[in-house]
Amino acid sequence: MTDARQQDNEKIWSLIKDARVAMLTSERDGRLYSRPMVASQKAFDGSLWFFTRKSSPKVAEVEAHRQVNVAYASSSDNSYVSLSGAAAVVDDRASIDAHWNEWIKTWFPNGKDDPDIALIRVDVDTAEYWDAPSSKMVVAFDYLKARLSGKTPDLGENRKIDVR
C-alpha cells in the first residue's frame, strides 16, 4: 500500500471510528433501502465489515446487486463520510472470529455459533468526506463572517478518494 493510500485510509478511519452506526444502502426491486448497521473492525484497510443474519433481506439484496453505499454522520464532530463499493456475504468461521466482539452478542445472544450469523464485507471503491471544524463557536464565526463579507463560509475539508 502506498503512503498516500495509507494516509487516505487513516483519514477515513479517523472520521468513522467513533461514529458507531452507519447507514447501509442496498437495492431491491429497483428501490433503495437503508438500514443502520454497526461496523465491526479495528481499522480501515479499504473494507468495512458488518455482522448480519443470513435470513435478513439485505443478504439477498447484496447478493443480487453488489453495489452499496455506507454513510456515516457525526453531527458532534461535523464530519460526514460516504463510502461506495461492492458488498459480499462472508460466511466463514475465521472471518467471524476475527471480527467478533462482545458488543455483537447483543444481536446474537447465541454467540459466534449462531447458525444464522454471517458478515457483509464492503470493498470500498470510492469515498467522499466532509470534515468541518467541530467547535460550534468556529462554525458560528465562519457563518457570521461569510454573512457580513458576502463570501461563502469555509465549511472545512471536502475530498473524494479512490480507495482501490
Q: How confident is the model at residue 159 (pLDDT cuts 50, 70, 90)?
A: low
Determine the pLDDT at residue 138. 47
Q: Cell numbers for 102, please give them.
A: 462482545
pLDDT score of 3: 87
> To the nearest whole percent, how much of the chain has pLDDT over 90?
63
Residues 62, 27: Cα–Cα separation, whole Å: 8
Distance of alpha carbon 148 from alpha carbon 132, whole angstroms: 20
Residue-averaged pLDDT of the chain: 86
pLDDT for residue 126 is more than 50:
yes
* pTM, entire model: 0.83
Distances (CA, A) of 162 to 101, 102, 126: 30, 33, 5
Confidence of residue 132 (pLDDT cuts 50, 70, 90): confident
Q: Is the pLDDT of residue 55 over 90?
A: yes
List pLDDT tens digits, range 82-122: 999 999 999 999 999 999 988 899 999 999 999 999 999 99
Q: Tell whether the model's pLDDT for residue 155 goes beyond 80.
A: no
Distance between CA atoms of residues 153 and 75, nearest Å: 18
Using CA atoms of 16, 10, 126, 142 in order, give the dihedral in degrees to the nearest 10: 60
Which domains are delineated in the chain?
3-162 (2.30.110.10)
pLDDT at 60 over 50: yes
Query: How far, in Å, CA of 129 to CA of 125, rounded?
Result: 14
| Sign of the torsion angle spanned by Cα atoms 14, 18, 23, 24 | positive
Q: Which band of pLDDT confidence, cut at 50, 70 and 90, is reported for residue 145?
A: low
Is 100 strand, coil or helix?
coil
pLDDT recorded at residue 134: 53
Nearest Cα neighbor of 112 from 24, 51, 42 is: 51
